[in-house]
Amino acid sequence: MLLRALRNHCPHCAERRIWASWGKLKPRCPGCGYSFSREEGYWVGAMIVNIGAAQLLFMALLLGTMALTWPDVPWTGLLIGTAAVMVAFPIWFYPRTKTLWIWLDLRVHPYTPEERE
């Protein structure tokens, strides 16, 4: 299920046609009927996943570059590089955070037959 989520497919059934547009899911999965928005504020968790992943990437780039170039750390290049990554990565990763959040939710609250239309 995790690999399905990372490929932007439905984590439950691997359906590919779940996106209405970039970053906007259809209300239900066309394959299995899973409702992508189970409650008000559901996508706050996806935003937290996105922020957390961006922070981990920033720390890895910062500490990795410092460790590899110490004591002559290229501070200007590091600043420009990490700033560019911190703008681009969350935008690129945003759709995946939604499918990852659905995957996490399915692990905690499995899809039951009562939820189907």
What is the tens place of the pLDDT at every residue in 60-100? Answer: 999 999 999 999 999 999 999 999 999 999 999 999 999 99
- What pLDDT was estimated at residue 117? 65
- What pLDDT was estimated at residue 116? 72
d(CA 90, CA 48): 11
d(CA 72, CA 52): 29
Radius of gyration of the chain (CA): 18
